[in-house]
Copies of this chain bind each other. A is one copy, B any other.
Amino acid sequence: MTNNLPPWRTSLSRALHLNRSQPYSRYFQLATVTPEGLPKNRTVVFRGYLNNSNQIKIVTDLRSEKVSQIEHQAWGEICWYFTKTREQFRLAGILNLITANGSPANLQQERHLVWQQLSDAARLQFAWPEPAQARIKDDSAFCSPFPSPDQPLTNFCLLLLDPQRVDHLELRGNPQNRYQYFLDESKTWIRQEVNP
């Protein structure tokens, strides 16, 4: 796979490199759909690709609202805007939630690995009180000892997005440039240049 990257990955790697001076260039917006059919949208952090695949790694909390959304509708769309190079990637695909239970061993291993790679501060958030509930006023509730890097907390989830369609818009061109990528019947990535 590493020798045969899909063409959109080459463009995305280039964008990540050119925007690397800005830490927030690794943040993007993930849209999901509620069981009631309403869109939800939040900023999450890019944690790289799953080994030997194009699946994008995200982390999430089992107590987060997006968990039930993904269980009901596994399709998600990432919108990733790079401020320095003024380009946007939209990556639509299937979300796969890796919880503490019930996933294949290789994905559990990956979940452990991603947990280890988080900062202490990021791991601590998974020990915080229930998100989106009435604020606990005693800040000590947010100051428990750092969780062990060796064992993920049970509410820590790895979330994978497996892109099926990609739309790349370069605002800087004159006119702008836009490319769409999709998989053909033989699972080969096709690149199509379209009007912006």
Chain copies in complex = 2
Residues B134 and A193 in contact, CB atoms below 8 Å apart: yes
**A76 surroundings in chain B (CB, below 8 A):** 39
Residues A195 and B39 in contact, CB atoms below 8 Å apart: no
Q: List 24 A-B contacts (CB under 8 A).
A: A22-B83, A24-B81, A29-B29, A29-B41, A29-B79, A31-B31, A31-B77, A33-B37, A37-B73, A38-B77, A39-B73, A39-B77, A42-B88, A42-B90, A43-B79, A43-B81, A43-B88, A128-B175, A131-B194, A134-B194, A135-B178, A135-B193, A135-B194, A139-B175
- Where the two chains meet, the residues of A that have a C-beta atom closer than 8 Å to any C-beta of B are 22, 24, 27, 29-33, 37-43, 73, 75-79, 81, 83, 88, 90, 92, 125, 128-136, 139, 142-143, 175, 178, 180, 192-196
